[in-house]
Structures are given as structure tokens and as C-alpha cells.
Amino acid sequence: MLKVLPVQSKEQQEDICRRCGVKYNPDALAYAATVDEKLAGVCQFRLSAEGGMIYDLAPAEGTNDFEAMFVMGRGTLNFIDLCGVHEAYFKGEVKDASLLRAVGFKENENGEFYINLEGFFTDHCHNHKENN
């Protein structure tokens, strides 16, 4: 069973980041995805005045579960949106642009992966046209 849950402690976050091959960011919040109780990936992010900043959307080393990563990415964006932050950027190393696009990001005029979250989770058809 796929589960995406907030990471409960900084020690746990640091361990999960190590297992996913990404740099631990102590200032970031994090979600971890598991499939059948095995680590599938991590997402580190922050909320800022400029918007939601996702730094990592990374699979655990030796895995590549696109569905788990997609669900975790969308869950992170939904959390950012529910916090009243309606713009998000992917600020990390782009290892899989197709995953970022599937989650909903588009490259803006500055070459950044960006998404406007206003109505994204409430008006599916409208956003499907804009984000694809």
C-alpha cells in the first residue's frame, strides 16, 4: 500500500534524505513515501513569501516508483495550497523533468519549474488545459 506522510523528526528526515541520496535540509519540511512499508522517496520543501519551494522530489536509492513520486509531489502541492500559498517552484536539481511536468509544473520564461495553484485542486478541467 502506498503511503505519503509527513516526516515527524529531523533525525528521521536526515536518515530518509541519506537513503534517497539528497542533501538534508534542516530548515525544510518533508514528506516520505512508502510502498508496502519500504521507503519509496522523499520531498523536502518550505513555505516562503515567494511561494512554496520544493527542493527535492527524489526516489529512494535503487527504486523508481513514478506513481509514488507523483502522489507525493501532488500531496506536497496540495499542502502548500491549503496553507494559503498559491504559487510553487521546484528549486532542486531536475533529475526527471517528466515527473515534474506530470505533477503540474511548467517551465516559466526564466526556465524555472513553476505552478500557479489557484484553483488547481478545485477546478480539474480548467487546470488540465493550462498545465498540459
Alpha-carbon distance 105 to 28, whole Å?
A: 20
For residue range 33-63, list pLDDT tens digits in order: 999 999 999 999 999 999 999 999 999 999 9
Residue 19, Cβ density class (10 Å: 0-12 exposed, 13-18 middle, ≥19 buried): middle
DSSP reduced 3-state for 107? strand
Threshold 0.85, pTM exceeds: yes
Assess whether pLDDT exceeds 70 at residue 128.
Answer: no
The SS3 assignment for 59 reads: strand
Map out the domains of the chain as residue ranges.
Answer: 2-131
Amino acid at the residue 70: F
- pLDDT tens digits along 63-118: 999 999 999 999 999 999 999 999 999 999 999 999 999 999 999 999 999 999 99
Where are the extended beta strands (E) located within the chain?
2-6, 29-35, 38-48, 51-59, 87-90, 106-107, 113-116
Nearest to 110 by CA among 93, 91, 128, 131: 91
In terms of CATH architecture, what is 2-131?
A: 3-Layer(aba) Sandwich (3.40)
